Homo-oligomer: A and B are copies of this chain.
Amino acid sequence: MAMLSSGKLVNLLRLADAAGRFKMLAVDQRASLQAALAKVTGREPEDVTHEEMAKTKQLIIEVLAPSSTATLIDPVYAFPRAVKIIPHRVGILVASEESGYEPAGPGGRERKVKLIDGWSVAKTKRAGANAVKLLIHYTPEASSEVRGHQQRLVRTVADECVREDIPFLLEVVTYSVDQATTDTPEFARKRPHHVIEAAREFSSGAYDVDVLKLEFPCDLKYTQEFRHRIVDQKERPVVYNLGEVRAFCRELDAAAGRPWVILSGGVDIQEFIASLELAVEAGASGFLCGRAIWQGVIPAYPHGERMRQLLTSEGISNFERANAVAERARPWFAHRSVGGWDQVQVQNSHEWYRRYPG
C-alpha cells in the first residue's frame, strides 16, 4: 500500500489528467523573461516594468493554460491575475525560489538558491494552490558546503509541504563549476552523470519529494542523429548516439525514486519533443514545460494582438504536440514508489478525522 496523506493525494490528482499524466505549463520565469522582453525592445532588463511582466504572463496563461493539466506560476508577477484565468479544472503550482542564484563556493563558481522573501509554503497552500515548486541548482562538482546548503533548502521546503499537506515538486538544474555555458561538448559529456546523480540524491526518503522535475539527461544537439536536425547553425561534435542516450534515460528512470517529469530549459520545440519522446519511453510521467512552447511569441512583444495570434496558433500547436507524446507517459501512480492505482490509499485509521493533524 502506498499511504498518502489526503492533502497530498487530492492535490496530486489535480495536477495530472484523469489517467495520472502530467501535461504542465511553466509561466514562472522571472529574470529570463525580463531579459527577453528587454532584448526585443532594446532596453536593459531593469527597465522592464512589473506591469509588463504581469501582462505578458497573463496573456500566455490565458491562451495556454486551458491546454495544460496544471500551470506553474510565480507569486510576484503572475499570481493575482492568474488565479482568475486558470480554468477551474487546471491545477496550480507556485514557485518558491528567488529567480536566479547567488554565486558561492571557491571563486564564486558555485550556486546557492534562496527562497522568495515574503512568500512561503503556508501562503501557497492558503492561497489555494495545489503544489509547491522549488528549483535548485545542483552539481556533484560543488563543494560540500554548497551542496549541503542546497540539500538543507530542499529539506526545509519538504518539511513545510508535509506540515501543510501539499505536494512538493522539486526541480533540479545541473551545471558545471568550470563553465559558464552548458552548450559545450565537455558539459554534454558530464550531463548524464550530473542529472542522474541529482535524481538519485533527491529521491532519498530524507527529502519527501513528491514529483521530480528533471533535465533531459543528454544534450541532443551532441548526437549524430540530431545535430543536423536541430534549428541551429552551430557545428557541434558528436558526444553520444541515440542508443547511448536511451541507456542514460533508463539509468535516470532507475535513479529517480519518485515520479518524474522533464523540463524544457528553453530548448526549441523540436528538441523538446524529441527529448520528451525519449524520456516518456524511459518512464517519465510527463512534462512541465515553458519556453519551448511559448518563447516564439516573445519577438512579437509588445504587440499584444500579434502575440495572442502566435500563442493561439504556434503556442497551442506546440502544446498539443507535447500532450500527444505525454499520452504515452507513465501515470504517476504507476511509478514503482507507488505501485499502481490499487495501492493508493489515504491513511484510514479508526477515527481518521480525529487523528488527521489540523
Query: Contact residues of A with B, CB < 8 Å?
Result: 6-11, 13-14, 16-18, 75-76, 79-81, 83-84, 87-89, 92, 116-120, 122-123, 125-129, 164-165, 344-348, 351-354, 356-358
How far does the alpha carbon of A92 sit from the alpha carbon of B11 in the complex, in Å?
Answer: 11
Query: Is B80 touching A358 in the complex (CB atoms < 8 A)?
Result: no
CB distance from A28 to the nearest CB of B (A): 12
Query: Is A18 touching B75 in the complex (CB atoms < 8 A)?
Result: no
Residues from chain B with Cβ under 8 Å of A354 in the complex: 117-119
Query: Is A165 touching B10 in the complex (CB atoms < 8 A)?
Result: no
Query: Is A126 touching B352 in the complex (CB atoms < 8 A)?
Result: no
CB distance from A123 to the nearest CB of B (A): 4
Residues from chain B with Cβ under 8 Å of A126 in the complex: 7, 125, 164-165, 356-358
Query: Is B346 touching A118 in the complex (CB atoms < 8 A)?
Result: no
Residues from chain B with Cβ under 8 Å of A352 in the complex: 75, 79-80
Residues from chain B with Cβ under 8 Å of A122 in the complex: 358
Residues from chain B with Cβ under 8 Å of A92 in the complex: 10
Residues from chain B with Cβ under 8 Å of A76 in the complex: 353
Query: Is B165 touching A128 in the complex (CB atoms < 8 A)?
Result: yes
Query: Is A79 touching B123 in the complex (CB atoms < 8 A)?
Result: no
Query: Is B81 touching A353 in the complex (CB atoms < 8 A)?
Result: no
Query: Is B18 touching A88 in the complex (CB atoms < 8 A)?
Result: yes
Instruction: Closest B residue to A128 by CB, please name it.
Output: B10
Residues from chain B with Cβ under 8 Å of A357 in the complex: 123, 126
How far does the alpha carbon of A164 sit from the alpha carbon of B7 in the complex, in Å?
Answer: 14
CB distance from A92 to the nearest CB of B (A): 7
Query: Is B356 touching A127 in the complex (CB atoms < 8 A)?
Result: yes
Query: Is B120 touching A358 in the complex (CB atoms < 8 A)?
Result: yes
Query: Is B83 touching A9 in the complex (CB atoms < 8 A)?
Result: yes
- Beyond A81-B346, A118-B354, A125-B126: 8 further Cβ-contacts under 8 Å? A6-B128, A9-B83, A11-B128, A17-B88, A18-B87, A123-B353, A123-B356, A125-B125
Residues from chain B with Cβ under 8 Å of A13 in the complex: 88
How far does the alpha carbon of A110 sit from the alpha carbon of B270 in the complex, in Å?
Answer: 70
Residues from chain B with Cβ under 8 Å of A117 in the complex: 354
How far does the alpha carbon of A56 sit from the alpha carbon of B345 in the complex, in Å?
Answer: 18
How far does the alpha carbon of A358 sit from the alpha carbon of B129 in the complex, in Å?
Answer: 13
**Given A76-B353, A128-B11: A83 and B346 interface contact (C-beta under 8 Å):** yes
26 contacts between A and B (CB under 8 A): A6-B83, A6-B128, A7-B126, A8-B128, A11-B128, A14-B88, A18-B87, A18-B89, A75-B352, A76-B353, A79-B353, A80-B347, A80-B352, A81-B346, A81-B348, A89-B89, A117-B354, A118-B351, A118-B353, A119-B354, A120-B358, A122-B358, A123-B357, A126-B164, A126-B165, A126-B358
